[in-house]
Structure 1
Amino acid sequence: MLELSKMLSSLYQPYVLAIVSIGYVLGELGHYLIGVTSKAIAMDLHYGDISCQLNTTEYYLSDLPVDCGEANSSEICFSFNINGTPYCEWTYNGLGLDYQILAGPSFIAVFTVVGVILGYLADKFNRVKMLAVCTLVFAIAIIISGGVTEYWQLVILRMIMAAGESGCNPLSTGILSDIFPEEKRALVMSIFNWGIYGGYGIAFPVGRYVPQANVLDLGWRICYYAAGIIALIFAFLTWFTLKEPERQSIGEDAQDNSDAKKVTLWTIVSDPRIIMLCLAASIRHCGGMCFAYNCDLYYQQYFPDYDLGWWLFAVTIVIGSIGVVAGGVLSDKFVAKMGIRSRVVVLAASQILATPVAFGSVYCEPVGAMITLGISYFFAEMWFGILFAILVEIVPLRLRSTTVGIFLFVMNNIGGNLPIAVEPVSKAIGYRESLYIFYVGAYGISSIMFLFTVFLMPGAPESPSPPVKELSGHDNVVYTHDETNLPTITSLVRNTKKNLNENSRL
């Protein structure tokens, strides 16, 4: 019975990691589904841009006398035909300012503000119960999103979904950092934060192929119903099966608790390390969000002959997962030798390596694009888990969740809202060219900023020197007859052999 209890106890840590990570995956699935289902929803709710698009799979682009995209009116669009049969349709394409607002600002505006509030509350109240409530909120919002009939309803529900999901990162980060030791922390944070890419990757096959199956004649709506119901189950598992861990001091906080108590929130937000990390993360997040919101729509527009849904799923889930684990393992392996600085070194190196191949994922044709995207994902996806492992190790325990909330507020307000600029820039210079700027360019700039941050971080802590024996004061090694000390056995033996009339030190 005792052995069974020990075995179950050893499984609790990975169980907690699994529950909070899968809950995060489901929240991110609800977040990113809009990018894959936008065209189907737009045709149903009538929002966004209308354009001329290929409406058949019978022909390849090379077979068409005129590309559908060259038409700028419905009359010209319907005039394109092969042997009298039109091959184009004038309909909603899922893009436009309405879509960019729906995907970005409507979600980010609430996500960032509520995230700061929940981060502050997490430092004071039960994080497990708060996480369960947050999961319940976004689960219900996802379910109701499947029943909308108007564009504005979807905007409101995206905001509610954001309010619920905003608590996942600061709450889960605090819980996980308290139950896992330092030597596993970056790996654990990487696995958890992989939820962003897990939800994003799963959104491709779910958003593309489930609506085509038209289960129960629900089309795209079944995606939201199913994702929300599963999230609902994990909300109850979080509430009833997880327990609030004891809060632990870690990293710099654990090394010097007296100094940590003097640290204020202003001290943290004005720390050059935090500022540089936050700015670099904001720009990197812009690149990631830009590609996440536009990836599926971009490949559909430029390569309509190719069904890349499963390829995108495989690259994101398989390659991205390997990158996440590799980044965590490398960071944890070197942190003992180089200190917290080692995590930043791994972070900067991974993003530098990811940048040139990210360019290839947009520049190349489908096969080359998928190969370079896979290489890019391997290195690029190391960043998030390592970043938050660094953050929790340089912030005092009592301000940890608050800091994470503020960090996410800034990062998401900058990185989450900048992708809206893709729309006007794409109309001015082209869709592909706008991705060069906001996706590849953001990767490159952030990698340089992460590299500069390395020089702001302290190196490995010095090993303590052996204590030096103090030779001043009343030490019997020096003064064997000092009246301030009791005589030692050695001095008593020595005194018996000496002349009894020998003068003392006095």
Structure 2
Amino acid sequence: MADWTLKNIYFLSLMSLGYIVGEIAHFLINTSTRAVAQDIHYGDQACFRNLTVNVSENSNVTSCKDLDQQEDCVQHDHCSWDYNGLGLQYQILAGPSFIAVFTICCVIIGITSDNFVKVGRNRIMAVGVLVFSLSCFLMGFSNSYWQLVLLRMGIAAGESVCRPVSGSLITDIFSKGARGLANGILSWGVYYGYGLAFVIGIYVTQADILSYGWRASYVLSALPGFVLSILLFLTVSDPKKDEDNDSLEALNTASSPETLATPDEEEKSFLAYLKILARSLCSPTIVLLLIGACFRHTAGYCWAYNTRPYFQTYYPNFNLGLWIFACSVGGGSFGVFFGGYFSDKIVSNHSLALLRPHAMGLGRIYRLFSSLCHGTLYFKPPFAFISLILYYFCAETWFAILFTVIIEVCPTEVKSAMIGVFLFIMNNIGGNLPVIVDPLAKSMGYREAIYFVWPGCVGISSVMFFVASIPLWRQARLSQL
């Protein structure tokens, strides 16, 4: 229990709360896009019921949602033509404008936190929290689409600090036996943040606080981040920084010119490192896992970016805020802990032969997940949420299992770099590819487009994860000979 001191719990709490605020800022546009679009004017337009005109429930009037042309819509007093919060501009705002900056900054932040220890990783984390909080705060005062895009990039740059810096700090703060639980608590930030984004984006916007509408949800969401930034900067310290300061003098004393590597030796060593990294990245198992992960990430982001617009389009009168919060927090939290526990069992056995069934298991499990995706889209709420919470209960185990397999099959000297490159490729493809929902929706319908991308990509990932088990099976057989 030495790991769970008040000091460590406090530090972990600050990092987790910062992650929650970052994820709220990340997903808030997905839950408030219609209100934002109708104020800022971006994306597609559609015909809506004019709530200022009283229409009897028994009166025989044309349904506004069935009118897809502006000239037809405006002919009816009980209908109005307005922005629906969808379209290519929304998909770019939700996906590429965030993902492109997020992935590049993740690499930069990772290098910075590893090589500039004197700065202190707690301070790097504090600056990141300040950046995404300020960007979210200023989004509440935006008056144009491109201001929204630039500030979304600011949120991405700030949030890119959370996972790499917090993960490395947890490694130094907690022992090996406690890191799984600590990382699980940190990962709650994703699910609590995503769930709270629905609660805040829906209910705070509807409350119309001080007549600010959707703007109040952005301003209020950002305020806790400013406090957390100050606390991270002033009340905690980087344990690695303290250790390095103590050992620097001893290291300088022990070093001599004879023991230092020459520039030529360092260059040869770096080239050998790159060759090992390239060879590992091109191995059949890694390539197949990467393809499967890209499809899985595409599916996840497709649903995350289109959850609120989907229910607004097909079930406009259903209040989904608390339902999504329950699914995300309940299902996602379970998935994180189960995936971590499952991964610990894999690593504790230290057997390559055991990795094949886990990669194969990902394939078999994801065929079930694909059917649960279909159920969410097929059934009407609240029954759709039964499929969704079952999906969340199991689907979030994939991340921990996937990276356990990657770590175990890669050479020790390139594990960190391999994970960084894997995340960079996976996020750039999986985070940007959901923009295809818009052109697909225009050709086959919005629900059909989500069917195609979400369950479809989950199904493809199941095949790729299953195929990835074949090279592992061959490696296991060779190792037993």
Note closer, same or farther for the CA distance 1:386–1:135 as it changes in structure 2 (3 Å cut).
farther
Partner of 2:85: helix, strand, or coil? coil
How many angstroms apart in 1 are the aligned matches of 2:91 and 2:452? 17
How many angstroms apart in 2 are the aligned matches of 1:290 and 1:63? 38
How many angstroms apart in 1 are the aligned matches of 2:469 and 2:232? 37
Note closer, same or farther for the CA distance 1:156–1:23 as it changes in structure 2 (3 Å cut).
same
Report how far residue 444 of structure 1 moved. 1.5
Deviations 1:394-447 (A, max 9, x none): 667776554443322211110011100000001101111111111111111112
How many angstroms apart in 1 are the aligned matches of 2:236 and 2:270? 29
Partner of 1:367: helix, strand, or coil? coil
The residue type paired with residue 99 of structure 1 is Y
The residue type paired with residue 157 of structure 1 is L
The residue type paired with residue 302 of structure 1 is Y
Normalising by the residue count of structure 2, what TM-score does the alignment of the two structures yield? 0.82
Report how far residue 303 of structure 1 moved. 1.0
Match of 1:365 in 2: 380
The residue type paired with residue 365 of structure 1 is K
Match of 1:129 in 2: 123
Match of 2:325 in 1: 313
Report how far residue 316 of structure 1 moved. 1.2
Note closer, same or farther for the CA distance 1:155–1:326 as it changes in structure 2 (3 Å cut).
same
8 Å contact from structure 1 (residues 142, 157) kept in 2:
yes
Report how far residue 141 of structure 1 moved. 0.9
1:28 and 2:40 equivalent?
no
How many angstroms apart in 2 are the aligned matches of 1:287 and 1:162? 20
Note closer, same or farther for the CA distance 1:43–1:330 as it changes in structure 2 (3 Å cut).
same
Match of 1:170 in 2: 164
The residue type paired with residue 319 of structure 1 is G
The residue type paired with residue 18 of structure 2 is G
Unaligned 5+ runs, structure 2: 244-268
Mean Cα displacement is larger for which, 92-101 or 197-206?
Answer: 197-206
**Larger Rg over CA atoms:** 1
Deviations 1:323-381 (A, max 9, x none): 22222223323432364727646655543432211111011111321111111111112
Match of 1:53 in 2: 48
Note closer, same or farther for the CA distance 1:194–1:9 as it changes in structure 2 (3 Å cut).
closer
How many angstroms apart in 2 are the aligned matches of 1:187 and 1:345? 26
8 Å contact from structure 1 (residues 118, 167) kept in 2:
yes
Q: Where does 1:113-152 land on structure 2 (aligned, <5 Å)? A: 113-126=104-117, 127-152=121-146
Of Structure 1 and Structure 2, the greater helix share is in: 2
How many angstroms apart in 1 are the aligned matches of 2:51 and 2:391? 33
How many angstroms apart in 2 are the aligned matches of 1:194 and 1:453? 29
Match of 1:209 in 2: 203
Deviations 1:139-181 (A, max 9, x none): 1111111111111111111112111212322222223244444
Note closer, same or farther for the CA distance 1:353–1:450 as it changes in structure 2 (3 Å cut).
same
Note closer, same or farther for the CA distance 1:246–1:266 as it changes in structure 2 (3 Å cut).
farther
Unaligned 5+ runs, structure 1: 1-5, 81-85, 249-258, 463-506
Match of 2:247 in 1: none
Report how far residue 266 of structure 1 moved. 3.0
1:355 and 2:370 equivalent?
yes
8 Å contact from structure 1 (residues 132, 235) kept in 2:
yes
Match of 1:416 in 2: 431
Determine which of 73, 77, 85 is the counterpart of 2:73: 77
Match of 2:64 in 1: 68
Match of 1:39 in 2: 34
How many angstroms apart in 1 are the aligned matches of 2:451 and 2:423? 25
Note closer, same or farther for the CA distance 1:117–1:296 as it changes in structure 2 (3 Å cut).
same
* Percent identical: 41
Report how far residue 245 of structure 1 moved. 4.2
How many angstroms apart in 2 are the aligned matches of 1:416 and 1:408? 11
Mean Cα displacement is larger for which, 185-194 or 324-333?
Answer: 185-194
Q: RMSD of aligned C-alpha atoms?
A: 3.3
